[in-house]
């Protein structure tokens, strides 16, 4: 499989995350920040629910005819003097991008925010071949300095406190600038000054693409910092890297999706920059790159087409499901051990990395449904996590204790008389164990429960036993 | 209108842990003019199997529930979670299954208790004595809320019974129960229930009411572990009329 993860260690990573005071402080802000802003933005747009239906339909139509729209996109890009490269997996994507960089004689590459390049681990690949790759999105830059992976698909450094940013800058930039490092504004100014120099020195600029428009051969980035624009317009060569599923038929379709994307992601009516790139610089253009490449990465996505996971490919990476997920809110993104965390990651990661590598992720959900309730393209995320649990169960990968427990329960639940007898005995036993207080502090085989909670003791007589007794007494 | 014959789906948690919720449900349904029957062969809706990826197990139990509840006007459970599962039965069996049509019919007449009382019967409970409910806050259980749209109904019943609800700020956020989730990922579940307790505390309520026993056991269990004045009740327990002495 093609996506590298550390998702097998999820339970350990959860313990680390829960014990990390800085992280918990950072996550506390998430619960009442982005979710409230999204809610307010949705309330201001009466047609929001209708737009969700339209967006889901646009995505479904495109996915049904993906081969057609990919070829149309390629044709449109080529007609305008650009180049489209299809990469079957991470390795081939990295090889294609390295080759373009080498042809440009690149020593230094700047990057706008792109989850697909995180997925394929492009920075490491280019660095291994002597090309410095510098993140220019502030969050990505912070994460790169801290030698971490992003913890959120929209806000990569959401787990980092301001004081930790100051520490990272002190380590990498040296002496503090005149403004000091106490205020967010001065930290931003410092980062801007450092990153600006790199924009001017870069030979190649690499961005992602939120959408690839088939009718015009346009890639679109939706950003707030302007770094993406400098990344793609200043260097001689612009490479846009994105997944094959990001293609949309028309400009009109892209605009429908963009209206949902910003509101769902950050609660903005529109992001600060919505930049459309169509081909390289023309003779009459005042600026722009001399060469325009689009790398469309499959890396396991096409295996989801026609499967029970196809609807996951509707995803427009807004991050709303992460922001509203109470599990994500407890542990943050890094515990998931995948560049795609939270509910969308719980479906996508096993699709790209295999269920054997990422089995914990679709299991670590209460199926509360908050993710599906906010998804702008109405992906049935809990249902898909359940599908992964089915695949896991059917292939015998589910934990043995779970299979055993389930087997015993299933055996009894299908035999009402046996079930009644066992339940009656169990309820009596636990009633006694609960004592006068009526709660159990410890429970054999029940440490998962009693680690945090007492178990309220049963009344002693089950409902069905009591019901039968009362009817006889009448 | 003819009295409705309603089958009570007791749910395995109510059967085992808190039978009073089942009896309270019966009293409420009878007060609302229903004839209540309790099919003897029922056990569980199969959700533990369904959510663990065990399709066959879920299928077998779905068929058992269909068998147990044939010939009734409605199936009512004091749980949005179990009724959410019953509504899934057509998907559990699949359209090719011989019992699929019966699953569709069952799903169409399966109701969570409060929504049945309010939406189907327009029932208004008798006022409850103030002493039994001083300051109540309501936790919206996830399945009921997001699968069945249950939010207004329990509040309408509480209001009709003269019980004021002091809303907590995160009433619709999951409490962290999640079936087997709470024992498989106790650290995450524990963090979630602590957030829920903090929200309850901010509301100032001394009584937590909810409509699903899973959430209730989780929240009550954590309250008991930490020790504190807040008690936890199922919505049926707080609403139901007192049991009449001497039987009927």
Find the residue in A nearest to B62 (Cα).
A414
> Using a CB-CB distance cutoff of 8 angstroms, which residues of chain B are in contact with residue A363?
181, 184-185
DSSP letters, A410-437, are: HHHHT-HHHHHHHHHHHHHHHHHHHTTT
Judged against a pLDDT cut of 70, whether residue B248 lies above it is answered with: no
- Closest-CA residue to B223 (of B162, B145, B137, B158): B137
Q: A244: helix, coil or strand?
A: helix
Q: Cα(A163)–Cα(A179) distance, rounded to whole angstroms?
A: 15
Structure tokens given for B214: 């899973």
Residue B43 has its nearest CB partner, among A390, A419, A459, at A419
pLDDT-based confidence at residue B161 (cuts at 50, 70, 90):
very high
- C-beta of residue B114 within 8 angstroms of C-beta of residue B150: yes
Strand A218-223, strand A211-213: pairing: antiparallel
What local confidence, expressed as pLDDT, does residue B242 receive? 85
Mean pLDDT of chain B: 95
Q: Cα(B144)–Cα(B29) distance, rounded to whole angstroms?
A: 19
- Whether B146 and chain A come into contact, CB under 8 Å, resolves to yes
Mean pLDDT of the B194-219 span? 97
Q: Which of B23, B38, B47, B53 to mutate to test the interface with A (most CBs of A within 10 A)?
A: B53
Mean pLDDT of the B87-114 span? 98
What local confidence, expressed as pLDDT, does residue B247 receive? 41
Mean pLDDT of the A68-88 span? 98
pLDDT-based confidence at residue B246 (cuts at 50, 70, 90):
very low
Helix (H) or strand (E) holding A329: helix A326-331
What local confidence, expressed as pLDDT, does residue B221 receive? 97
Q: What is the pLDDT of residues A179-222, one digit of tens each?
A: 899 999 999 999 999 999 999 999 999 999 999 999 999 999 99
Q: Cα(B31)–Cα(B240) distance, rounded to whole angstroms?
A: 9
* Buried b / exposed e along A367-377 (16+ C-beta atoms within 10 A): bbbbbbbbbbb
Judged against a pLDDT cut of 60, whether residue A354 lies above it is answered with: yes
Q: Cα(A83)–Cα(B139) distance, rounded to whole angstroms?
A: 55
Mean pLDDT of the B220-229 span? 95
Mean pLDDT of the B28-39 span? 97
Q: Cα(B78)–Cα(A261) distance, rounded to whole angstroms?
A: 39
Q: A43: helix, coil or strand?
A: helix
Number of H helices, E strands in chain B: 14, 7
Domain range list for chain A: 33-299, 303-394, 401-473
Give the count of Cβ contacts less than 8 A between chain A and B. Answer: 192
Mean pLDDT of the B172-191 span? 96
Q: Cα(A120)–Cα(A208) distance, rounded to whole angstroms?
A: 12
Q: Cα(A48)–Cα(A376) distance, rounded to whole angstroms?
A: 9
Name the residue with tokens 């346009």.
A218
- Whether B242 and chain A come into contact, CB under 8 Å, resolves to no
Structure tokens given for A471: 């009817």
Structure tokens given for B26: 């019966």
Greatest C-alpha distance within chain B: 54
What local confidence, expressed as pLDDT, does residue B133 receive? 54
Helix (H) or strand (E) holding B112: strand B110-112
Q: What is the pLDDT of residues A119-131, one digit of tens each?
A: 999 999 999 999 9
What local confidence, expressed as pLDDT, does residue B228 receive? 85
pLDDT-based confidence at residue A285 (cuts at 50, 70, 90):
very high
Residue A456 has its nearest CB partner, among B17, B46, B173, at B17
In this structure, chain B runs to a length of 248
Judged against a pLDDT cut of 80, whether residue A258 lies above it is answered with: yes
Name the residue with tokens 């998907």.
B91
CATH of domain A33-299: 3.40.50.10420
Q: Cα(B216)–Cα(A345) distance, rounded to whole angstroms?
A: 30
Q: What is the pLDDT of residues B102-115, one digit of tens each?
A: 999 999 999 999 99
Q: Which of 3.40.50.720, 1.10.1060.10, 1.10.8.60, 3.40.50.170 is the CATH number of A303-394?
A: 1.10.1060.10
> Using a CB-CB distance cutoff of 8 angstroms, which residues of chain B are in contact with residue A462?
15-16, 19
In this structure, chain A runs to a length of 474
List Cβ neighbours of B6 (8 Å cut-off, separation of 6 or more). B29, B34, B35, B36, B37, B72, B73, B74, B75, B76, B116
> What radius of gyration do chain B's Cα atoms show?
18
Would you give the distance in Å from CA B210 to the centre of its chain?
Answer: 8
Q: Cα(A365)–Cα(A372) distance, rounded to whole angstroms?
A: 12
Query: What proportion of chain A, given as a percentage, has pLDDT over 70?
Result: 100
Structure tokens given for A276: 């459309």
Judged against a pLDDT cut of 60, whether residue B245 lies above it is answered with: no
Q: What is the pLDDT of residues A13-55, one digit of tens each?
A: 999 999 999 999 999 877 778 899 999 999 999 999 999 999 9
Q: What is the pLDDT of residues A432-453, one digit of tens each?
A: 999 999 999 998 878 899 999 9
* Planar angle of CA A218, A220, A224, nearest 5 degrees: 155
Alpha helices by DSSP H, listed for A174-246, are 184-201, 227-233
> Using a CB-CB distance cutoff of 8 angstroms, which residues of chain A are in contact with residue B145?
369
- Taking an 8 Å cut-off on Cβ atoms, the answer to whether A14 and B185 are in contact is yes
- Taking an 8 Å cut-off on Cβ atoms, the answer to whether B187 and A18 are in contact is yes
Please give the C-alpha separations between residue A463 and each of A22, A204, A473, B12, B48, in angstroms, as whole numbers. 47, 71, 15, 9, 20
Residue B16 has its nearest CB partner, among A370, A416, A426, at A426
What local confidence, expressed as pLDDT, does residue B1 receive? 60
Q: So what's the ipTM on this one? A: 0.96
- C-beta of residue A110 within 8 angstroms of C-beta of residue A203: no
Domains of chain B plus CATH, in order, are: 4-120 (3.40.50), 130-239 (3.40.50)
Structure tokens given for A373: 């309730």
* DSSP E strand stretches across B120-235: 136-139, 207-210, 231-234
What distance in Å separates residue A165's CA from the closest CA in chain B?
Answer: 26
Q: Cα(A159)–Cα(A148) distance, rounded to whole angstroms?
A: 11
- Taking an 8 Å cut-off on Cβ atoms, the answer to whether A423 and B16 are in contact is yes
């Amino acid at each position: 499989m093609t996506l590298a993860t550390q998702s097998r260690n999820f339970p350990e990573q959860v313990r680390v995350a829960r014990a990390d005071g800085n992280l918990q402080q950072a996550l506390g802000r998430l619960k009442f920040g982005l979710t409230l802003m999204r809610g307010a933005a949705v309330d201001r747009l009466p047609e929001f629910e209708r737009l969700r239906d339209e967006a889901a339909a646009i995505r479904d139509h495109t996915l049904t005819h993906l081969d057609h729209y990919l070829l149309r996109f390629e044709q449109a890009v080529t007609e305008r003097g650009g180049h489209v490269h299809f990469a079957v997996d991470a390795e081939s994507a990295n090889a294609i991008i390295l080759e373009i960089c080498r042809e440009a004689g690149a020593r230094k590459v700047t990057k706008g925010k792109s989850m697909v390049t995180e997925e394929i681990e492009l920075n490491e690949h280019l660095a291994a071949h002597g090309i410095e790759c510098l993140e220019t999105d502030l969050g990505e830059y912070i994460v790169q300095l801290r030698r971490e992976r992003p913890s959120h698909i929209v806000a990569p450094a959401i787990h980092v406190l301001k004081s930790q940013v100051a520490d990272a800058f002190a380590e990498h930039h040296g002496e503090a600038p005149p403004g000091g490092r106490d205020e967010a504004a001065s930290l931003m100014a410092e980062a801007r000054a450092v990153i600006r120099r790199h924009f001017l020195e870069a030979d190649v600029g690499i961005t992602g693409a939120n959408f690839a428009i088939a009718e015009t051969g346009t890639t679109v980035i939706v950003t707030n910092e302007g770094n993406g624009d400098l990344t793609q317009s200043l260097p001689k060569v612009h490479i846009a890297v994105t997944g094959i599923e990001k293609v949309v038929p028309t400009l009109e379709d892209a605009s429908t999706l963009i209206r949902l994307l910003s509101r769902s992601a950050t609660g903005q009516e529109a992001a600060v920059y919505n930049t459309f790139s169509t081909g390289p610089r023309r003779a009459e253009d005042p600026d722009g790159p001399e060469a325009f490449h689009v790398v469309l990465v499959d890396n396991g996505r096409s295996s989801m087409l026609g499967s029970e996971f196809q609807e996951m490919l509707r995803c427009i990476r807004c991050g709303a499901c992460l922001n509203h997920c109470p599990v994500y809110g407890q542990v943050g993104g890094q515990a998931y051990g995948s560049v795609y965390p939270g509910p969308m990651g719980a479906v996508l990661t096993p699709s790209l990395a295999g269920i054997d590598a990422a089995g914990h992720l679709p299991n670590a959900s209460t199926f509360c449904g908050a993710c599906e309730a906010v998804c702008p393209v109405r992906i049935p995320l809990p249902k898909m996590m359940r599908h992964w649990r089915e695949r896991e169960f059917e292939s015998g990968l589910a934990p043995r204790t779970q299979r055993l427990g389930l087997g015993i329960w299933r055996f009894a639940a299908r035999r009402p008389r046996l079930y009644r007898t066992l339940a009656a005995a169990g309820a009596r036993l636990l009633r006694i164990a609960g004592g006068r207080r009526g709660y159990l502090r410890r429970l054999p085989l029940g440490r998962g429960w009693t680690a945090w909670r007492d178990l309220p003791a049963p009344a002693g007589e089950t409902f069905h036993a009591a019901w039968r007794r009362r009817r006889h007494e009448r | 209108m003819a009295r409705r014959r309603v089958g009570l789906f007791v749910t395995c948690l109510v059967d085992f842990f808190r039978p009073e919720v089942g009896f309270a449900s019966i009293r409420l349904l009878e007060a609302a003019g229903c004839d209540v029957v309790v099919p003897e062969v029922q056990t569980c809706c199969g959700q533990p199997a369904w959510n663990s990826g065990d399709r066959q197990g879920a299928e077998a139990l779905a068929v058992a529930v269909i068998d147990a509840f044939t010939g009734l006007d409605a199936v009512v459970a004091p749980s949005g979670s179990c009724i959410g599962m019953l509504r899934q039965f057509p998907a559990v069996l699949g359209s090719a299954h011989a019992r699929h049509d019966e699953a569709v019919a069952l799903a169409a007449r399966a109701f969570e208790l409060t929504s049945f009382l309010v939406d189907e019967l327009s029932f208004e409970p008798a006022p409850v004595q103030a002493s039994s409910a001083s300051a109540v806050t309501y936790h919206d259980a996830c399945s009921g809320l997001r699968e069945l749209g249950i939010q207004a109904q329990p509040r309408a019943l509480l209001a009709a019974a003269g019980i004021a609800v002091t809303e907590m700020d995160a009433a619709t956020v999951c409490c962290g129960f999640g079936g087997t989730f709470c024992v498989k990922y106790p650290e995450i579940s524990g963090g979630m229930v602590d957030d829920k307790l903090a929200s309850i505390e901010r509301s100032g309520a001394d009584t937590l009411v909810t409509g699903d026993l899973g959430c209730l056991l989780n929240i009550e269990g954590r309250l008991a572990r930490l020790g504190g004045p807040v008690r936890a009740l199922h919505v049926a327990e707080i609403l139901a009329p007192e049991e009449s002495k001497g039987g009927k």
